[in-house]
Structures are given as structure tokens and as C-alpha cells.
Structure 1
Amino acid sequence: MFYGAFILKKSDLSLVITEMNNKLECPLWHGEVNCIRRFYELPKETRPNTKDCIFFSSHEPCSLCLSAITWSGFDNFYYLFGHEDTRDSFEMPHDLKIMKEVFNCEPGSYNKKNFYWKCYSLKDMIKNCIEDENERKEIQERINKISKKYEEMFQIMKNYDSFKFSYL
């Protein structure tokens, strides 16, 4: 699947880096982890402090990625597709299954505001923060187009053996 992440500067929302998953190279290179890896490969003198950045993930981070975000020092992250979207629309229940089996954590029950960071669902923000109904509809239509594109890519990708998660 095309899981990706990008990092923006809080001050002007300029792009610092963007990356996507690369599980064929290494199963640990989830979109978020790969983005963080590449972020730390930037020259230290030009790399912004993590506290001065916004971290955005296409999908709600799994337990591996939650840990990577935490250890990297980001104080926030935003995501578009939640764990349930990933399970239901993309037939990938692994994140929820791992959280339940390893951490005994029910779907969505991890602490989304804690000492280390706060996380935000973009879909919830749109639903709860945008008062203008026309603007909310317009943004929802964009999200629907993105969702449809992801579903189309998923239908193509699920036929490839390299896409299968047989180890889970």
C-alpha cells in the first residue's frame, strides 16, 4: 500500500521532506519510519528541530510508527485514514490486530494526547472544526477523491505477491 508521510515547518508550512513506505527494501521502512529516517539524513545544520515541525501521515500510525514518532521528538502528528479505514477499505487489519494482541489495546484506545505528542484525525477535524457547510463539503469531496484513488491503487497492488503480508 502507499503509506506515506511528510514533515512541514510550523512557521510557514513549507515542506521539509516527504517519503513513502519501502517494505521491499526493509519491512521496517513504513511510510512514517522511512520519512523520519530521511529527515535525520538531512544535514544537521539545515534540519529543523522536531518541535518546530508538523508531522503528517497518510494513515493512522501503527505501533512501530507511533514509537518512531515518539523517539524522534515530534510533538504532534496528523493523519487522514484511521486504523478502521485501513482495516475496512484496504483489507489490512494488521495494525489493529497487533495493538490488540501485543498491547491489549482496543481500536482507537491508545492515548492520543500524552506527555510526548498530540495526534489529530484530519477527518475529525473537518467534521468538528469547519463550520461552513459548503467548505466542509468541498473538503470532504477532496478526501473522497483521495480515498477512491487509494482504493484503485489497492485493487491493483493486492494482486502482487510482494504486496502480501504473509508474515503476519
Structure 2
Amino acid sequence: MCSTSNAAEENRMEGVVLDAKTQKAPLTATAAELKRMFEVIEKEILPVTTEGVAKGNKVFGASILNKDLSTVTVGTNAETECPLFHGEVKCIYEWSKVTCPSARGPAAQEAVFLSTHEPCCMCISSILWSGFTKVYYFFPYTVTAAQGIPHDINTMHELWGVNTYRKRNKYMSTICLIDLVKGLEDSDDKKELEATVERLLASYDTLSNKYHTEKSNNADNSLVLG
């Protein structure tokens, strides 16, 4: 009976296939566009995240940008306020307050969703349900785990037996900014962007260390997953 049940489950899983015809196109970015996205992370997201970490929140932040990469709204992790307020979810919440309901769908379809860290299963689902189709992130899961927060991979594995979502699917395309920088041809722009990457890595390492050092003594931190 068990083997039959397992076979049936495998057949159901085999039926979940990716239709390449419906996949969103892969994301790209010019050096100028990458500079702008890094500027948003460094000058707009990082300052509010620094304030958030001081209150006992994690280091994750996000921004929603217009098609021309001008900023619509910025958010950072606010789990001490609500456990659902991961950086991306808080950003969507703030965006929803300044975007009228009838305009949200079209606006999301045109927008760029920029996340400091690769979205967890809740956040990538929230981004999908909000209608965003283009997602750029700075830190991949491997770096997030190295910063002491492995829950993104762990929750996907425990809930669905996978280590990640599909980076390109019929709903959205996602891509890592670091990979885009690596893919640029050698130039002064690339060197500048590589220096920015190193600077941001150092800044977020400092914030991550602060969070982990102080979280146990913060009365507002529920530490459900740590």
C-alpha cells in the first residue's frame, strides 16, 4: 500500500512541469541600471534597515521602483511589529497604502521589485499575489544562510521538499544582482559596481552581526525561528 501511495505521489509531482512557452523572459540590466538599484539599496533601504535592526528586526529590506527605476516606496523587516512583516511584505504593505486598488495590478506589472535578499517562500508568494513580474535581489540564499539566517532554504525544504522556487516561471522572473555584475564586460563601470558589492556585503555583515548579538536580549523579538 505504501509503495502504491508513493508511486501515485511521484506521478502527481511528475505532472508539475514547467511550460517553457509561458516562462517570463530572463531579466537583464545595464551597468547604469545596476548602479541605480545599488544606489536605492545603499542610500534608501540600508538606512531604514539600520533603524529596524536597532529595534530588534532582521536585516531584510526591499523597494518598489517605477519602470524608470524611480522609487515608489521602501520597506524593511518589522517582525517586532507583526511576524508577517518581512522586508518584502512590509514594502508591499506600504506600497498598497499609496497605490489605489484599481491601479495596483497595472502598476505592479510595470514595476521593478528590488529586494536586498532573495525572497523567502512567504515573500516570493506575496510578490506574486501582488502582481509583480520583475524581481531583482542582491543576496542569494547561500549568502543569507552564511549570515546566520538559513530559514529561507529550510522552510522550503520542510514544507515542499525543495530548496528554492523556480527563478523563471509564468508569473515572474527573478535574478541576482551580483550575478548580473559578474556577467558585465570588463570596464570601469564593472569595477565600480564590484566595489559597491563589496561595500554592501561589509555593511550587511555588520548589521547581521548586530542583530544576532542583540536578539536574545530584545524583549520585542519573538525568536520563533531565530
TM-score relative to the length of structure 1:
0.89
CA distance in 1, matches of 2:208, 2:122: 22
Q: What secondary structure sits across from 1:49 in the alignment?
A: helix
Structure 2 matches for 1:1-168, cutoff 5 A? 1-10=58-67, 12-44=68-100, 49-88=107-146, 90-106=147-163, 109-128=164-183, 130-160=184-214, 161=216, 162=218, 166-168=223-225
Aligned length: 163
Q: Give the deviation of 1:133 after TM superposition.
A: 3.9
CA offsets per residue over residues 119-138 of structure 1, 9 Å max, x none?
0110111111x112432222
Gaps of 5+ in 2: 1-57
Q: What secondary structure sits across from 1:144 in the alignment?
A: helix
Residues 53 and 141 (structure 1 numbering): CA distance in 2 closer, same or farther, change over 3 Å? same
CA distance in 1, matches of 2:134, 2:99: 22
Query: What is the CA RMSD across the aligned residues, in angstroms?
Result: 1.9
CA distance in 2, matches of 1:46, 1:66: 21
Contact persistence 1:158–1:164 (CA under 8 A):
no
CA distance in 1, matches of 2:103, 2:74: 16
Contact persistence 2:117–2:141 (CA under 8 A):
yes
More strand by share: 1
CA offsets per residue over residues 50-71 of structure 1, 9 Å max, x none?
1110000000000000100000
Letter in 1 for 2:173: K
In terms of mean alpha carbon deviation, does 91-100 or 156-165 score higher? 156-165
More helix by share: 2
Structure 1's consecutive aligned runs of 4 or more residues displaced over 4 angstroms after TM superposition are 45-48
CA distance in 1, matches of 2:71, 2:222: 31
Gaps of 5+ in 1: none
CA distance in 1, matches of 2:160, 2:189: 39
Q: Give the deviation of 1:110 after TM superposition.
A: 2.1
Residues 83 and 155 (structure 1 numbering): CA distance in 2 closer, same or farther, change over 3 Å? same
Residues 9 and 167 (structure 1 numbering): CA distance in 2 closer, same or farther, change over 3 Å? same
CA distance in 1, matches of 2:88, 2:99: 19
